[in-house]
Each structure stands twice: as C-alpha cells, then as structure tokens.
C-alpha cells in the first residue's frame, strides 16, 4: 500500500474503516455479556455452561492472534482484513440465529478465530498507512480511544439492544458494522505483493497457539473453579511451559513467528506491558461497576450503560489530544505512567462506594479521572507499540498489542473474580446472612476489587516509567531498530 497510491483524504477514510473493525472486536467482549442472561433463558442452558459463550471467543481469539498477525505479513493485510470481516460477520449471524447452546458456542469460537485475523490486520494497516508523526498521532489517538472505550460502548449498546429488541441483535449488529467496513475496505485498500522476507514458523506457531490457549483456558477455569482446581493448575503450568519453549525456539529459527527484536525494543516492550497491566484493571472497573450500578443501585442495563458515557468521552478526548500534541514532543515515558496515576486516582474515589452512593458525587468524578487516565495510556501505548516496526513485522507487532490486551483481560477475569468472591464470603461469615448484610457484602467485594485495581495501576505506572526510554521514538525504515532492553 505505497503512500503514492493513497491521497490524504483516503488515509482518513482508511482510519474510519480500521477503527470500525476494531470497535467490532473490542465491544464484542462486553456486548455479549449483557445479552447472556436473556440468551440463557431463551436457549435453556445451565450457569456452568454459560461461561463457554465467553470462553470460546477468548480461546480462539487469544490463541490465534500471533499466528494471524504473521499471516497478515505473509499474504497481505488487505486480504486478511477482508477475510476477517466476512468471517466475523458470518459467525455473528450464525450466533444470532442459534437454536441451541452448542450452535451459539461454535459460532462464538468462529467469531474469535476471525477476530484474531481482523484485529492485527486493522492495526497494521494503520501502522503502514500513517507514517508521518503528526498524522500518526491523530490517527492512533482515535484508534486508542476506540480500544480503550470499546468495552464501555459494548455495555451501552448491549443494554439498548437487549432491552428494546432482544439478545440476538447483540450479535446481528456485527453484520451491519462489517458490511459498512467491507465496502470501505474494498474501495480504499490496495493489494500488496507477497513479502519475500516473511516465512511461516510451524514449531513456533504450535507452541504459541498451544501456550496461549492453555493459559487463557486456565484463567477461565480459575475464574469459575478456583485457583486450586487441578485443571486450573495443569492448564496454567502447561501454558507457561509452552510459552517458555516458544521463546527458546524463536531465538533459534531463521524465520520466527515473533522476532524477538519486536518485543526487546524498549518502546514496544514497555508499551505491551502497559497495555497488558491496564487490561487487568480495566476488566475490574467495567465488571464490578456494572454489577454495582445494576444490582445495588438497581439501574436498568440501558441506564447503567449511559452511566459510562462520561468515561468514554474522556477516553476519546485524552487519547486523541495526547497522541497528536504531546507524544511526538515528549515521548511515552512521562505520559503512560501519568495516565496510570490519573486512572488510579479515579479508582481510589470508587473505593468510597456504599449502598446508596449518589452517581453525581460518588461515581462520576471517578469515571472522569479513569477515562482521562486510560485515554492517555491506550492512545500513547498503542501508537508506541507499533512505531518503528518494519513492514515485514507490522502484523505481528500489531498482534502483540491485542495479545497483551487479551492475556491481561484473562488474568483480570480470574484474579479479580476470585478476590471479589473471597471478600464477599469473608464478609458474610463475619456478619451473618441477613438480606441487608448480603447487599453490604456485595459492595464490600467491589471495593476490595477496586483496591486491587488501584495497586495494579500503581505498579503499572512504576514499571512503565522504568522500562520506557526517554524521548519520542524516531521513525525507522526497513528492519526494526531495537533500543537495548
């Protein structure tokens, strides 16, 4: 996709298409969660089975990301982007038309597989389209805003569709979004010749896919069965061993699936770490605040979704402004840790929640700070995570962004759910099981979870400041230039 083949206006339309594709992938993680109770009632499946509607997507998406990113480098980003769009739309239509539990789970797994193909293709298209620093800052500011706020958008959209239509539209909506993106992509994106520098890495692919699937599955099991369950322990151990083997293999093969130069660059490595740690905390904020609004304050799904709008707005403002104006001048090192600290301040305010907390005085200020902080982190980190990567590495560098986010979200799911459950049980044991006490125990569990998220953000701020180098990253052509780790 040479620059000469696209005009200035065309580049911004490409941003719109890539952003729409990213929105589909990100909001699908939360929009289906809102629809699950209705789907469970309609299709008649158990609470134990319900987790598989979410887990099937996570396993396929998380497990195939690195392979799909390298595939986009191999066969061309336009091809993988179009295939991903069509496949994601078809899988969404299949899930929306599901007549039983098995059909819904299969559709969600197919969704995750094509989402893994779509997400890194969209980001790598932006990476190779916007190379001029000022334009790149604006483009990645918008993209980072979508990545940071897509989960909250999913909560809002899922609530509206479930309440006023039915749960099936939480899947059908992807068909409409994909159709718009498909038309734009076919008109705007240019076919690329095959890159002769890229080869597949079968041993690395097997180890990466196996390791990521085992690790994500292990985290899903930890969220439902506990950390001490034999299956949980076995899956996590197998995942860690396979991923360690993957790193060793990548040091020795001629054409690695993930060239270590991509992650050993301190700009990119620090950004991947920041994205992963933020994803752990972001899960807890959205999940437990949604529970609090609906179960404690008795908000409807739509009203609960609307409550997140200020945070969404702040993410968009902070992401676009910071990447366009500040990142090219001062680099990510001061901005990413600052974003973590601002978000931590917002989470600290949420630790004062009670049974009858006012939204205006007790929730809104925290959401505004969280939105500002996350906008700084996601906008700057996603931009930096792909900056300077050569064209032959753009796909896999982009896939690492999504992999960091997916692994972080999986860890957050397991860790924070188990902490909240333990806090609730301890409170009930200490205070009895009266109805009022149970409600207080639920709020206590959310506050404990927010305290853990606060600690995660503080650790993330320290780690980001230590790893990210000073100054703005310089544009690099050809092969990635690594800043020594």
CATH number assigned to the domain comprising residue 7: 1.20.1250.20
Q: What is the number of structural domains in the chain?
A: 1
Helix (H/G/I), strand (E/B), else coil: 351: coil
Rounded (10°) CA dihedral 63, 69, 75, 77: 130
Burial tier of 314 (Cβ tally within 10 Å: 0-12, 13-18, 19+): buried
CA–CA distance, 181 with 179 (Å, rounded to integer)? 5
* Contact assessment for residue 86 and residue 182, using Cβ atoms and an 8 Å cutoff: yes
Phi, psi of 299 (to 5 degrees): -75, 150
**First vs last Cα of the chain: how many Å apart?**
32
Is residue 74 situated within a structural domain? Answer: yes
Helix (H/G/I), strand (E/B), else coil: 387: coil
Residue 224 within any structural domain of the chain: no
Q: CA of 58: how far to CAs of 43, 180, 225, 237, 286, in Å? A: 21, 25, 17, 19, 17
CA distance 288 to 33: 13
- Distance CA(268)–CA(8), nearest Å, equals 27
The reply to whether 480 falls in a domain is: no
> Per-residue pLDDT tens for 144-198?
888 777 777 888 888 888 888 888 999 999 999 999 999 999 998 887 666 666 6
Query: What is the pLDDT tens value at each position of the chain, 485 positions in all?
Result: 444 334 567 888 899 999 899 888 888 877 887 788 788 888 988 766 777 888 888 888 888 888 888 888 888 888 999 999 999 999 999 999 999 999 999 999 999 999 999 988 988 888 888 877 778 878 888 888 887 777 778 888 888 888 888 889 999 999 999 999 999 999 988 876 666 666 778 898 999 999 988 988 888 888 778 888 899 999 999 999 999 999 999 888 888 888 888 888 889 999 999 999 998 888 788 888 888 998 899 888 888 888 988 998 898 899 888 888 888 888 899 999 999 999 999 999 999 999 989 999 999 999 999 999 999 998 899 888 877 766 677 778 888 888 888 888 888 878 888 888 889 889 988 887 777 888 899 999 999 999 999 999 999 999 999 999 887 666 544 333 333 33
CA gap 451, 427 in Å, rounded: 16
Q: Does residue 243 sit within a domain?
A: no
Range of 165's domain? 3-200+257-467
Burial 118-156 (b: 16+ CB within 10 A, else e): bbbbbbbbbbbbbeebebbbbbbbbbbbbbbbbbbbbbb
If you ran DSSP here, which 8-state letter would residue 101 be given? H
In-domain check, residue 249: no
**Per the domain annotation, does 228 fall within a domain?**
no
pLDDT at residue 483 in the model: 35
Task: Decide if 18 is inside a domain.
Answer: yes
Helices and strands in the chain, H and E counts: 17, 0
Residue 313 lies in a domain: yes
Q: How far apart are CA 219 and CA 62, in angstroms?
A: 12
Task: Tell me the torsion sign for CA atoms 356, 27, 49, 283.
Answer: negative
- Determine the pLDDT at residue 301: 80
What CA dihedral angle connects 84, 36, 154 and 299, to 10 degrees?
Answer: 180
């Amino acid at each position: 996709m040479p620059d000469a083949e696209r005009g200035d206006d065309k580049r911004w339309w490409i941003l719109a298409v890539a952003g729409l594709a990213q929105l589909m992938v990100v909001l699908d993680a939360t929009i289906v969660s809102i629809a699950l109770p209705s789907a469970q009632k309609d299709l008649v499946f158990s609470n134990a089975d319900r987790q598989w509607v979410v887990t099937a997507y996570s396993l396929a998406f998380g497990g195939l990301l690195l392979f799909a990113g390298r595939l986009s480098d191999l066969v061309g980003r336009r091809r993988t982007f179009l295939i991903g769009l069509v496949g994601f739309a078809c899988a969404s239509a299949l899930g929306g038309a599901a007549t039983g539990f098995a059909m819904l789970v299969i559709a969600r797994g197919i969704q995750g597989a094509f989402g893994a193909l779509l997400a890194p293709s969209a980001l790598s298209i932006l990476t190779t389209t916007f190379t001029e620093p000022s334009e790149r800052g604006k483009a990645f500011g918008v993209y980072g805003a979508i990545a940071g706020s897509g989960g909250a958008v999913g909560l809002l959209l899922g609530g509206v569709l479930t309440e006023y239509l039915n749960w099936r539209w939480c899947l059908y909506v992807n068909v409409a979004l994909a159709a718009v993106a498909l038309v734009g992509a076919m008109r705007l994106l240019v076919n690329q010749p095959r890159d002769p520098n890229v080869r597949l890495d079968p041993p690395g692919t097997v180890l990466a896919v196996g390791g990521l699937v085992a690790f994500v599955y292990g985290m899903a099991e930890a969220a439902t069965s506990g950390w001490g369950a034999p299956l949980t322990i076995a899956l996590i151990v197998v995942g860690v061993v396979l991923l360690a083997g993957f790193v060793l293999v990548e040091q020795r093969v001629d054409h690695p699936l993930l060239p270590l130069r991509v992650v050993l660059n301190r700009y990119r490595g620090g950004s991947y770490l920041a994205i992963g740690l933020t994803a752990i905390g972001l899960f807890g904020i959205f999940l437990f605040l949604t529970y609090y609004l609906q179960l404690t304050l008795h908000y409807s799904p739509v009203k609960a979704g609307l409550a997140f709008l200020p945070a969404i707005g702040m993410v968009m403002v902070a992401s676009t402004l910071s990447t366009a104006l500040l990142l090219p001048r001062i680099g990510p090192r001061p901005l990413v840790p600052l974003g973590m600290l601002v978000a931590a301040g917002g989470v600290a305010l949420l630790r004062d929640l009670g049974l009858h907390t006012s939204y205006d005085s007790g929730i809104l200020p925290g959401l505004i700070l969280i939105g500002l902080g996350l906008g700084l982190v996601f906008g700057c980190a996603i931009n930096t995570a792909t900056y300077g990567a050569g064209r032959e590495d753009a796909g896999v560098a982009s896939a690492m962004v999504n992999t960091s986010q997916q692994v972080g979200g999986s860890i957050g799911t397991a860790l924070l759910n188990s902490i909240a459950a333990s806090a609730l049980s301890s409170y009930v044991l200490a205070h009895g099981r009266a109805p009022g006490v149970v409600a207080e125990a639920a709020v206590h569990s959310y506050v404990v979870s927010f305290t853990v998220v606060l600690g995660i953000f503080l650790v993330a701020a320290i780690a980001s400041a230590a790893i990210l180098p000073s100054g703005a990253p310089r544009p690099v052509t050809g092969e990635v230039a690594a800043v020594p780790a």
